[in-house]
Chain A
Amino acid sequence: MALYLIDLPFAKIGLDTARRDSDAKVVLIQDGVYADASGLSDVYAVKEDVEKRGVASRLGGAKLIDYEELVDLIVENKVVNFA
Chain B
Amino acid sequence: MANINFLLTEGPFQTEKWSTVSKLAAAALDKGHEVTMFCYLDGIYNGLSTQEFADWEKVPGDYFKELVDKGAEIVCCGICVNARGQQKGKYFFEGIKVGGIPDWAAFVGRADRVITL
Contacts and interface: CB of A to CB of B under 8 A. Distances in A.
A–B contact via C-beta, under 8 angstroms = yes
B24 A67 contact: yes
Interface in B71-113: 112-113
Interface stretch (B25-33, B36-44, B47-55, B59-67): B25-33
B28 A71 contact: yes
A81 B24 CA distance: 15
B97 to A, nearest CB: 24
A30 B17 contact: yes
A77 B77 CA distance: 28
B103 to A, nearest CB: 19
Interface of B: 2, 4, 16-17, 20, 23-24, 26-28, 30-31, 33, 112-117
A78 B4 CA distance: 11
Determine chain B's interface SS by DSSP, over half rule. Answer: mixed
B115 A74 contact: yes
Contacts of A46: 20
A25 B100 CA distance: 33
B29 to A, nearest CB: 9
B2 A75 contact: yes
Nearest to A83: B117
B20 A81 contact: no
A64 interface: no
A23 to B, nearest CB: 17
B115 A5 contact: yes
B24 A71 contact: yes
9 closest A-B pairs by beta carbon, nearest first, are A67-B27, A81-B116, A75-B2, A71-B28, A71-B27, A68-B27, A67-B23, A79-B113, A67-B24
